[in-house]
Amino acid sequence: MLSRTAFSAVRPALARAYSSTAAAATPNGLRLLFSAPHEAFYNNVEVSQVNIPAVSGVMGILANHVPYITELRPGTVEVIALDKSVTKYFVSGGFAVMNHDSSLNVTAVEAVNFDDIDIDLAKANLATASKALADATDDESKVRAEIDVEVFKAIITSTTGSTSV
């Protein structure tokens, strides 16, 4: 089976190799292990598709995807269950490892379900973080503020669906 990858962000097309090991290992679907340190969302659950915010762009992962390792940027992890219902989570960063036995491990530093996000609080925090970034004097506080701004912007854009903040 050819590896199937859907990109929604601009990304150079990579030549994808035929993954013989993947096809041979398991004939069944994509098994997802999605966890943050304090909560495990999916523990080896079979799903139909997972969209992850890789650093190079959003990737859609289906069963028998070629083995792949990527870092995640702050963004949305979309899990499409076997019954096509979509659950969205916000992740602050982490890693996704696609193994050749068709298991996908998404390990996040922090992850929350979209339903649990208070958008007003996120906007208020973004304002605070932007102010901190403007006021930052040394490198460390600047980098910290930059990370905060990036994360809060991502929370707002991904939950509201708007690109302008």
Instruction: Write the CA distances from 34 to 37, 101, 106, integer angstroms.
Output: 10, 16, 5
Quick one: CA torsion of 74, 19, 44, 118, rounded to 10 degrees? 20
Kindly state the smallest distance separating residue 16's Cβ from other proteins, in Å: 8
Q: Whose Cβ is closer to other proteins: residue 17's or residue 86's?
A: 17
Kindly state the smallest distance separating residue 27's Cβ from other proteins, in Å: 17
Kindly state the smallest distance separating residue 160's Cβ from other proteins, in Å: 28
Amino acid letter, 149: V
Q: Whose Cβ is closer to other proteins: residue 59's or residue 129's?
A: 59
CB 35 within 8 A of CB 108: yes
Residue ranges binding other proteins (CB under 8 A): 14, 16-17, 19, 21, 33, 35-40, 43-44, 54-56, 66-71, 94-95, 97, 99-101, 103, 105-107, 109
Q: Whose Cβ is closer to other proteins: residue 54's or residue 133's?
A: 54
Q: Whose Cβ is closer to other proteins: residue 41's or residue 156's?
A: 41
Burial 7-33 (b: 16+ CB within 10 A, else e): eeeeeeeeeeeebeebbeebeeebbbb
Kindly state the smallest distance separating residue 37's Cβ from other proteins, in Å: 4
